[in-house]
Structure 1
Amino acid sequence: MIEPGKSTIRPGLSRPFGLTLGVEEEFVLVDARTWQLFPAAPQVLAASGGERPTLHGEATRYQLEVSTAVVDTAAQLRKELLALRRELVEAASANGCRLVASPSPVMTLQEPLHLCDDEPRQREQLRRYGALTDSLISCGRHIHVGTLDVDTAVRAANRIRPWIPTLIALGANSPFWDGRDTGHASWRTLAWSAWPSAGLPPHFRSTTHYRRCVRTLLDSGASLDTKMVYWDLRPSERWPTLEIRALDMSASVDSAVLQATLGRALVATALRELAEDLPTPLVREDVLRLARWRAAHDGLEGFGLDPFSGAEVPAAVLAENLLDLLAPELAATGDLDEAGSALTVLLRDGSGAHRQRAVFQRRGQLTDVMRHLADETEGATALPTAG
């Protein structure tokens, strides 16, 4: 994400104002004829004018990442995402490949893993972590909410943790991995959780405790550096933001904006509760861990676990409960109506995982799934036609 300016949160007020947004999105490249992953990231980057803050490579030569500017409104965020995606779609097409918003390598990789040639860090990851690096070919959406100092970000994270499973269910889009249906709506969530520095962050007793947990990851060898703190939710290691990292990548720009505005409203709600000195709701760690797995398994179409009671609840109800909780903050930023409409459409049409499986059931061909994902990605960038 491009560096934000100074904080616009006004001290002493119970409701924070001016929380900014930034989003990072990761994509894979596939051969336009075979639908196999295509290690063309350097060529596509060159066709787009080279690496820069808004566009850069990822861990492998199959992947690219875009980073929006820091924005204040959902409309600005949508404009940023569309412009960056259009640029990549055109550059990919010029190099014989398709840009795909796929969180997972749907089809079996037919060649050795192509890490970035100029990234010694990825080579060291391969040497130290072995087969765990297979999961580097996965794509997520990261939401940055700022501007926050580390102390505030840590305290806000504790209050947001219970809703991470619901966000996972809302974004579930990776049922297929390495040539098979995994039986999960978001297999990326579980595959990525194999990294020892990934998953839900601890409940931090203080900023000192947070820093101690990070230092333990580094000293134990679980992380090479702070970039490898892969928690679902963390203070950013580069920017003065709280970073929500749990979400699968998806083609829908509407979903991206919905997730970002929900993320900002979660932070705003946490800050309001902190200003009012409200107690942090108690959550059993075992229930939260199971809720995260159930969200990854069932996605939006099945059931989840209420993070506070542990009761089994339809995932759609949990999503609606989240919207109700955040309604005051969404209304304050003018995002409530759009968020409500986007959630209604998502519940009606189904999650990305649901739609992928529907495509596969027609002919049983994973190439159809890849074509569907590529078409959705390109369709999401299309300019509106005149009425």
Structure 2
Amino acid sequence: MDDGRGTVGVEEEFVLVDPRSGATAAAAPRVLAQLADEPGVMAEFLRFQVETATEVHRSLPQVRADLIRLRHRVAEAAEHVGCVALATGVAPFGRASQVTADPRFRTLAARFPALVGEAGTCACHIHVGVPSRAAGVAVLTRLRPWLGALLAVSANSPYVDGLDSGWASARYPLWSRWPTARPPGEWRDVGDYDAAVEGAIRRGQALDARSVYFYARLSPRHPTVEVRIADVCLDVADAVLLTGLVRGLVVTALAEQRRGAPPPRVPDALAERALRAAARYGLAGPGVDGLTGTPMAHEELVEDLLAYVRPALRAMGDLDDVLAAWCALRSRGGGAERQRALRAESGTPAEFVAHLAAVTRGEDREREAAQ
């Protein structure tokens, strides 16, 4: 972050499903074998999941290109072994609980057996470079009011076991059952943060720092703040918007920290209420202002977020890309809305899966560009 432009990387998780029934397909080992030359694709907790990770970038166009490339590679490999990859926070037609043959994943499953059947949800994790762990902790505290808006932008998991769950992000209540899945605390310094992580491990709530699942945390492996609240986005354009907003928030928080501005005070109950509203209703529904507790539409909350980070977006050259992506998202609807619309026009699970796979891969954008 030597020039004030935060480096950024994005991780996306996908479900693998049978193209006819929509049931999860434990095909990740075979998909990964097709991608042995691709370091940006890796195994996840359950065998119907794969994860991708972009390289470290400084511009949103670079992020977009990398996301598109990785989605295409995963889609092609999945097709080669007879399944399809979907960008959805929860597999829409049920989940099989086959744990990946990795010692760490097996240990995690043994520690939390009651949660394995509800695992396999898919997120988008955004990493933004920070100059130090101390600066990163200051950022985490300042992110608390905005996590609901980020979840509303990304909410993309309305279906569970073939039925509409009534949630825009059914992933959120499922994932939140893990003991450490909660908002970042109002930590004063690195010592406070490390004590929270070490306490969770000591109490048996996590195996190690990697399995402390705060909604935003210091990455245990990279010099970054890692924002983990979002569902995997249905469309690459939404993922790019989310990336721009997160980076804008981190850079804005760092600027406030350098000026000595005090962080906002956000009670835990308010942070949870804002997140629950975002998960339940998504972008098109009612929300809660994470700063004041005032009821507001989620679209208004995102507009407030954009106003807050606009100077950072302008300074990094991201403003036009973010505003264009936000206009497009408002026009076509969020992931949950689009999934419901696609389900309504699909006669069978196979048709619905085909629609979701096409949007995941970007074939809908390619068709529009060709017209």
**TM range, smaller chain:** over 0.9
For residue 117 of structure 2, give the secondary structure of its aligned residue in structure 1: helix
- Give the TM-score taking structure 2 as reference length: 0.95
The 8 Å contact of residues 60 and 321 in structure 2, kept in 1 or not, is answered as no
Match of 1:140 among 119, 123, 144: 123
One-letter amino acid of the structure 1 residue matched with residue 116 of structure 2: T
1:71 aligns with 2:57: yes
The 8 Å contact of residues 174 and 188 in structure 1, kept in 2 or not, is answered as yes
- Separation in 1 of the partners of 2:64 and 2:46? 27
When structure 1 is superposed on structure 2, of 60-69 and 356-365 the one drifting more is 356-365
Q: Residue in 2 aligned with 1:3?
A: none
Q: Residue in 2 aligned with 1:5?
A: none
RMSD over aligned Cα atoms: 1.8
One-letter amino acid of the structure 2 residue matched with residue 125 of structure 1: L
Deviations 1:39-80 (CA, angstroms, capped at 9, x unpaired): 111111111225x54111111111111111101101111111
Q: Report the alpha carbon displacement of residue 138 of structure 1 after superposing the two structures with TM.
A: 0.9
One-letter amino acid of the structure 1 residue matched with residue 28 of structure 2: A
Match of 1:252 among 208, 211, 235: 235
- Separation in 2 of the partners of 1:301 and 1:280? 29
Q: Residue in 1 aligned with 2:315?
A: 332
Q: Residue in 2 aligned with 1:4?
A: none
Q: Report the alpha carbon displacement of residue 337 of structure 1 after superposing the two structures with TM.
A: 1.4
One-letter amino acid of the structure 2 residue matched with residue 189 of structure 1: Y
Q: Residue in 2 aligned with 1:354?
A: 337
The 8 Å contact of residues 358 and 364 in structure 2, kept in 1 or not, is answered as no
1:115 aligns with 2:102: no
- Separation in 2 of the partners of 1:381 and 1:86? 13
Match of 2:139 among 149, 156, 163: 156
The 8 Å contact of residues 306 and 313 in structure 1, kept in 2 or not, is answered as yes
One-letter amino acid of the structure 1 residue matched with residue 68 of structure 2: L
Q: Report the alpha carbon displacement of residue 282 of structure 1 after superposing the two structures with TM.
A: 2.0
One-letter amino acid of the structure 2 residue matched with residue 27 of structure 1: F
Deviations 1:266-314 (CA, angstroms, capped at 9, x unpaired): 0110011111111112222211111111111111011111112111001
Q: Report the alpha carbon displacement of residue 338 of structure 1 after superposing the two structures with TM.
A: 1.5
1:105 aligns with 2:98: no
Q: Residue in 2 aligned with 1:22?
A: 9
- Separation in 2 of the partners of 1:85 and 1:293? 29
Q: Report the alpha carbon displacement of residue 363 of structure 1 after superposing the two structures with TM.
A: 5.6
The 8 Å contact of residues 144 and 266 in structure 2, kept in 1 or not, is answered as no
- Unmatched segments (≥5 aa) in structure 1: 1-7, 11-16
Match of 1:62 among 48, 59, 63: 48
Match of 2:29 among 42, 48, 51: 42
Q: Report the alpha carbon displacement of residue 364 of structure 1 after superposing the two structures with TM.
A: 7.1
- Separation in 1 of the partners of 2:266 and 2:319? 27
- Separation in 1 of the partners of 2:34 and 2:186? 44
- Separation in 1 of the partners of 2:366 and 2:34? 21
Q: Report the alpha carbon displacement of residue 225 of structure 1 after superposing the two structures with TM.
A: 1.2
- Separation in 2 of the partners of 1:33 and 1:210? 47
Q: Residue in 2 aligned with 1:84?
A: 70
- Separation in 2 of the partners of 1:229 and 1:195? 9
One-letter amino acid of the structure 1 residue matched with residue 44 of structure 2: E
For residue 141 of structure 1, give the secondary structure of its aligned residue in structure 2: strand
For residue 276 of structure 2, give the secondary structure of its aligned residue in structure 1: helix
- Separation in 1 of the partners of 2:330 and 2:366? 25
- Unmatched segments (≥5 aa) in structure 2: none
The 8 Å contact of residues 145 and 267 in structure 1, kept in 2 or not, is answered as yes
- Separation in 2 of the partners of 1:277 and 1:291? 27
Q: What percent identity do the matched residue pairs reach? A: 38
For residue 199 of structure 1, give the secondary structure of its aligned residue in structure 2: coil
For residue 320 of structure 2, give the secondary structure of its aligned residue in structure 1: helix
- Separation in 2 of the partners of 1:364 and 1:293? 31
For residue 136 of structure 1, give the secondary structure of its aligned residue in structure 2: coil
1:124 aligns with 2:107: yes
- Separation in 2 of the partners of 1:278 and 1:64? 41
1:1-387 matches, within 5 Å, as 8-9=1-2, 17-49=4-36, 53-109=39-95, 112-117=96-101, 119-362=102-345, 365-379=348-362
Matched residue pairs, number?
Answer: 370
Q: Report the alpha carbon displacement of residue 177 of structure 1 after superposing the two structures with TM.
A: 1.4
Residues 380 and 67 (structure 1 numbering): CA distance in 2 closer, same or farther, change over 3 Å? farther
Deviations 1:328-369 (CA, angstroms, capped at 9, x unpaired): 111111111121111111112111101111223346755443
- Separation in 1 of the partners of 2:352 and 2:136? 38
- Give the TM-score taking structure 1 as reference length: 0.91
The 8 Å contact of residues 85 and 381 in structure 1, kept in 2 or not, is answered as no
- Separation in 2 of the partners of 1:368 and 1:313? 36
For residue 58 of structure 2, give the secondary structure of its aligned residue in structure 1: coil
Q: Report the alpha carbon displacement of residue 265 of structure 1 after superposing the two structures with TM.
A: 0.6
- Separation in 1 of the partners of 2:142 and 2:49? 33
One-letter amino acid of the structure 1 residue matched with residue 171 of structure 2: R
- Separation in 2 of the partners of 1:174 and 1:256? 15
For residue 138 of structure 1, give the secondary structure of its aligned residue in structure 2: coil
Residues 363 and 41 (structure 1 numbering): CA distance in 2 closer, same or farther, change over 3 Å? closer
When structure 1 is superposed on structure 2, of 312-321 and 282-291 the one drifting more is 282-291
